[in-house]
Structure 1
Amino acid sequence: MKLLIVEDDINLANTLARRLTKQGFTCEVAHNQSDALLTARKLLPDFVLLDMKLGDDNGLALLKPLRNLLAQAHIVLLTGFASIATAVEAMRLGANDYLTKPVDMTTLLKALNTKPVTSAPSAIDDAVMSPERLEWEHIQQVLHSNNGNVSVTARQLNMHRRTLQRKLQKKPVQQ
């Protein structure tokens, strides 16, 4: 089970590699987009852990090239700032799973060992989203539709730009 970890945080990447090696994976680490593609071509991993924010780059931009190169690989996108809009975009671009940081090892292993189900209907979660989480998701969706332009997003949301910037700096609230 070959695993490519694409993470710009060197300490986190090394910790993940060490822990996942103990779980039976053969791990390689890349810290930027170009290294990730070179390592993927060389290693041809079965699994890829991809960070969404790679320094100034966006991990979403790597999904299509990785999917083209590794058609059968199981790609898990990790992010510290999750939103429905980015989750949908990640799945559309080829990610198999989408997890928020910090992620516990049990959840990560479950995501890595899960094979896509083709015929079974997906289970619907009956949990109701909190108003704070709903607001966060809506802001992320409008921001994504405006290509990250905070001023335009603030105008569309009828909100002061600085207020929106403060809300964006906060971590998303849990369900």
Structure 2
Amino acid sequence: MTPESLLLLEDDALLAEQARRAFARHGIEVHHAADLQQAHALLATLATLDAAVLDQNLGNDNGLDLIQPLLARFPNCRVLVLTGYGSIPAAVAATRRGAHNYLTKPASAGEILDALGRDPADIGDLPEAPPSLQRLEWEHIQRVLDAHDGNISRAAEALGIHRRTLQRRLKKRPSPSHFQRDR
């Protein structure tokens, strides 16, 4: 199912523009909002909405908070949550709130459209195993580093480790096999 209209909730302007262009090539009308306030205002103006792609982490906002109001207004809308910090608990939280599916970034327009078209009852969508410890550690380090605007010294202090230790851990990114285990 390719939607005719789609709400894109994404706070990264460059990523939002790239996604808008990619969806437009598929003939989809894209309505973009950069935060929850804009998204709520936009929802009030739309007559129909087939799908929504929501970034989970929006600065101080959480894209999951838009799922229930969105589905209250458009009950047949298929909702996909995108995040850079994917985990099984986060995916479960998104689907419990009513999300149709959940993907980690980066995801292409094709992957997003495939996920929107997939049957949410398909057990194949669930990871076979929990994430490895290496992946969980890597994701946590990335969240802390992002929260400190990439400043290694401040991130290391927040993590309670030496700056050089953090630099070594960043160089030892988990291999792709660690990431494949939880897909």
2:6/2:52 contact within 8 Å kept = yes
Letter in 2 for 1:132: Q
Question: Which residue matches 1:23?
Answer: 26
Inter-CA distance 17–89: structure 2 relative to 1 (3 Å threshold): same
2:79 counterpart SS class:
strand
Question: Which residue matches 1:107?
Answer: 111
Question: Which residue matches 1:40?
Answer: 43
Instruction: Note the 1:73-112 alignment, pairs <5 A.
Output: 73-112=77-116
Question: Which residue matches 2:134?
Answer: 132
Question: Which residue matches 1:122?
Answer: 123
TM-score, length-normalised on structure 2? 0.68
C-alpha distance after superposition, 1:115-174 (max 9, x if no partner) = 545xxx62476568544246779x8xxxxxxxxxxxxxxxxxxxxx7359x99xx79962
- Report deviation, 1:4: 0.7
Task: Name the CA distance, whole Å, in 1 between partners of 2:99 and 2:130.
Answer: 25
The runs of at least 4 consecutive aligned structure 1 residues that moved more than 3 Å come to: 123-131, 133-137, 170-173
Inter-CA distance 101–128: structure 2 relative to 1 (3 Å threshold): closer
Task: Name the CA distance, whole Å, in 2 between partners of 1:100 and 1:22.
Answer: 22
Q: Does 1:67 align with 2:94?
A: no
Question: Which residue matches 1:50?
Answer: 54
Show structure 2 runs of 5+ residues with no match. 141-157
Show structure 1 runs of 5+ residues with no match. 140-160
- Report deviation, 1:54: 1.3
**Equivalent residues, number:** 148
Letter in 2 for 1:18: R
Task: Name the CA distance, whole Å, in 2 between partners of 1:89 and 1:11.
Answer: 27
1:83/1:136 contact within 8 Å kept = no
TM-score, length-normalised on structure 1? 0.71
Letter in 1 for 2:134: E
